Chains A and B, each alone.
Chain A
Amino acid sequence: MIWLHYTRYELLRTFRDRRLFLFAFGFPVVLYFVIAAPNRHSHDFSSTGVSAPLYYMVSLSSFGTMMSMMSAGFRIAGERQVGWTRQLRITPLSVRSYMRAKIVTAYAMATTSLLLLYICGLTLGVSLPAGRWLLMTLLILIALLPFGVLGVALGHVLTIDSVGPATGGIVSLLAIVSGTWFPITHGFLHDVGQFVPSYWLVQAGRIGLHGQSWHALAWAVVIGWTVILAAVAALAYRRDSGRV
Chain B
Amino acid sequence: MTATATTDAVRVEGLTKSWPGPGGPVHAVRGIDVTIPHGSTVALLGPNGAGKTTTIDMVLGLVRPDAGSASVLGQTPHDAVQQGLIGAMLQTGSLIRNLTVRELVKMLTSLYPSPMAVDRVIELAGLDEVADHMTQKLSGGETQRVRFAVALASDPQVLILDEPTVAMDVEARRIFWTSMRAFAATGRTVIFATHYLEEADANADRVVLMAQGQIVADGSTTEIKGRVSLRHIRATLPGIGSDELLTIAGVTDVDRRGDSVTLTCNNSDGALRELLARYAAASDIEVTGARLEDAFLELVADSEARQ
Contacts and interface: CB of A to CB of B under 8 A. Distances in A.
Whether A and B are associated in the same complex: the answer reads yes
Interface of A: 2, 5-6, 9, 12-14, 16-17, 78-79, 82-84, 86-87, 89-93, 241-244
Contacts of B103: 9, 12
Interface stretch (B10-18, B86-94, B227-235): B86-94
Given A9-B103, A17-B97, 12 more contacts: A6-B111, A9-B104, A12-B98, A12-B99, A14-B98, A89-B62, A90-B86, A90-B88, A90-B90, A92-B111, A243-B91, A244-B92
B84 interface: yes
A23 to B, nearest CB: 15
Contacts of B95: 82, 84
B25 to A, nearest CB: 16
A91 B154 contact: yes
A5 B110 contact: yes
Contact of A243 (B82, B92, B113): B92
B245 interface: no
A92 B93 contact: no
Contacts of B276: none
A66 to B, nearest CB: 24
10 contacts: A6-B107, A6-B111, A12-B103, A13-B96, A13-B97, A83-B90, A84-B93, A92-B84, A241-B62, A244-B92
A6 B110 contact: yes
Contacts of A79: 96
A133 B42 CA distance: 64
A197 B83 CA distance: 41
B206 to A, nearest CB: 24
B63 interface: yes
Contacts of B60: 90
Contacts of B98: 12-14, 16-17
B37 interface: no
A128 B60 CA distance: 56
Given A2-B111, A6-B111, A83-B90, A90 B81 contact: yes
Chain B interface mostly helix, strand, loop or mixed?
Answer: loop
A87 B149 CA distance: 12
A91 B108 CA distance: 8
B93 A86 contact: yes
B177 interface: no
Interface string B213-256: 00000000000000000000000000000000000000000000
Contacts of B107: 5-6, 9
B62 A90 contact: yes
Interface string B52-66: 000000001111000
Contacts of A242: 63
B121 interface: no
B112 interface: yes
Pick the 5 closest A-B CB pairs, nearest first: A83-B93, A5-B110, A82-B94, A16-B98, A9-B107
Nearest to A244: B92
B92 A92 contact: no
A84 B8 CA distance: 29
Nearest to A241: B62
Which residue, B84, B91, B94, B111, has most C-beta atoms of chain A within 10 A?
B111
B150 interface: yes
A14 B97 CA distance: 9
B111 A91 contact: yes
Nearest to A86: B90
A12, A83, A93 interface centre (most CB from chain B within 10 Å): A83
A242 B58 CA distance: 11
B155 to A, nearest CB: 13
Contacts of A2: 110-111
B111 A93 contact: yes
B150 A87 contact: yes
Instruction: Indicate the member of A9, A16, A82, A89 with the most B CB atoms within 10 Å.
Output: A9
B112 A92 contact: yes
Interface in B110-161: 110-113, 150, 154
Contact of B82 (A84, A92, A244): A92
Interface string B69-86: 000000000000111101
